[in-house]
Amino acid sequence: MRTDLSLGSCTLVTDAGIGAFARSCSYLKTLCVRQCRAVTDAALSLLATHCANLESLDVSRCAAITDAGLEALAQGCHLLHTLELEGYTEITDHGVGTLAVGCPLLASLNLWVCNSVSDSGICLLASACTKLTSLDLRLCSKVSAESVHAVARNCPQLRCFYLERAGKVTNDSVRSLAEGCPDLSVLDLGWCEIGDAALDALARSCPNLSMINLAYCEAITDAGLNTLCFGCSNLTSLDIGGCSRLTERALHAIAEYCPHILSLDLGGCKHLVTDNSLLNLAQACPDLRSLNLRFCELVSEAAIASVQAKCVNVQVRR
């Protein structure tokens, strides 16, 4: 009895094919049809009719998935806990709200680039799907601090939250998130307008944070990063590329407090990386595997060679 099927990027798969499979495999629990360009809302309707046990579905970047498809899923797939919907500008608050009410067990939802979704839809999602552990709202430009506050109030089990280039995310909303979701391990705040106050809140409340993206959060200073590294010493991945106010003191803080760092992005930090600070980092973090030094103009080739000698598995981008 087949319960899982992966057909990602199979361009010849159609709605009719999905329907035939759904009718013969009613116990299906996991289905991936990512980038199957001929799959539409009709396939979701067929799945909802025949596959009530469906728990995980990836329909990212197919031909056309709209609110109508989400309505069908909400009516027939009440056990759904993982849904990937990356890349659909046609999905709106109505679809997200209907999905949330019909699928209250949702734990992981990817809405990357679903930029017609706003605070209204996310607030309803957070209030109805309180078991959320992962939510991706990257490039959802109509989503703001209101959504972050709603998630913080209602989803205490959240562990992964992706907000890169979302709408206006504030220091206060990140503080609310840190206090309401203390088990956060992955947080993407790239290009968000937050500063040291947000980092202070994360350092106080989220000791298990392992990955954080702060790329182009240009209000962040050495003091804020020092506090973050001290409070979140289990960090393994840190992106501070483009944080123009940081100096080499920030790199010293990473070396002192975060010895488990595996991936570090310093791209564009012209005043942050010097030979001395880089060698200090390599000495303290020998397990480093990925290091982005693009546009770090103060670093010499000799220093990079020394880093590669100390961190034998590191891949350096220059």
What would the pLDDT profile of 173-221 be if each residue is shown by its tens digit? 999 999 999 999 999 999 999 999 999 999 999 999 999 999 999 999 9
In a domain, 221, yes or no: yes
Dist CA 134 CA 152 (whole Å) = 12
**Residue 272 identity (one-letter amino acid):** L
In a domain, 68, yes or no: no
Structure tokens at 310: 């100390």
Which residues, in sequence order, are bridge partners of residue 290?
Answer: 263, 315
What pLDDT, on a 0 to 100 scale, did the predictor assign at position 2?
76
Q: Structural domain of residue 253, as residue ranges?
A: 203-318
A 10 A CB-CB count for 42 gives 18
In a domain, 3, yes or no: no
What pLDDT, on a 0 to 100 scale, did the predictor assign at position 270?
78
Distance of CA 301 to the CA centre of its chain: 34
In a domain, 19, yes or no: no
Answer whether residue 62 shows pLDDT above 80: yes
In a domain, 83, yes or no: no
In a domain, 264, yes or no: yes
pLDDT band at 272 (very low <50, low <70, confident <90, very high): confident
- Per DSSP, 114 falls in state -
**Secondary structure of residue 153 in the 3-state scheme:** helix
What pLDDT, on a 0 to 100 scale, did the predictor assign at position 64?
87
Domain of 309, CATH number, reads: 3.80.10.10
Largest pairwise CA distance in the chain: 65
Segment 256-260 shows an average pLDDT of 97
Domain count of the fold of the chain: 1
Residues 6+ apart with CB under 8 A from 195: 171, 217, 219, 220, 221, 224
What pLDDT, on a 0 to 100 scale, did the predictor assign at position 217?
97
In a domain, 125, yes or no: no
Answer whether residue 235 shows pLDDT above 90: yes
pLDDT band at 271 (very low <50, low <70, confident <90, very high): confident
In a domain, 210, yes or no: yes
pLDDT tens-digit map of 115-168: 999 999 999 999 999 999 999 999 999 999 999 999 999 999 999 999 999 999
Which residues, in sequence order, are bridge partners of residue 4?
Answer: 30
Q: Are 156 and 129 in contact (CB under 8 A)?
A: no
The segment with the largest mean pLDDT, out of 24-28, 63-67, 273-277, 312-316, is 312-316
What pLDDT, on a 0 to 100 scale, did the predictor assign at position 128?
98
A 10 A CB-CB count for 286 gives 12
Give the chain's mean pLDDT. 96
237-239 and 30-32 strand pairing = unpaired
Structure tokens at 159: 């562990």
**How far, CA to CA in Å, does 15 sit from each of 20, 53, 103, 196, 224?**
9, 19, 22, 49, 51
Of 43-47, 62-66, 121-125, 197-201, least confident by mean pLDDT is 62-66
Q: Are 280 and 251 in contact (CB under 8 A)?
A: yes
pTM value is 0.97
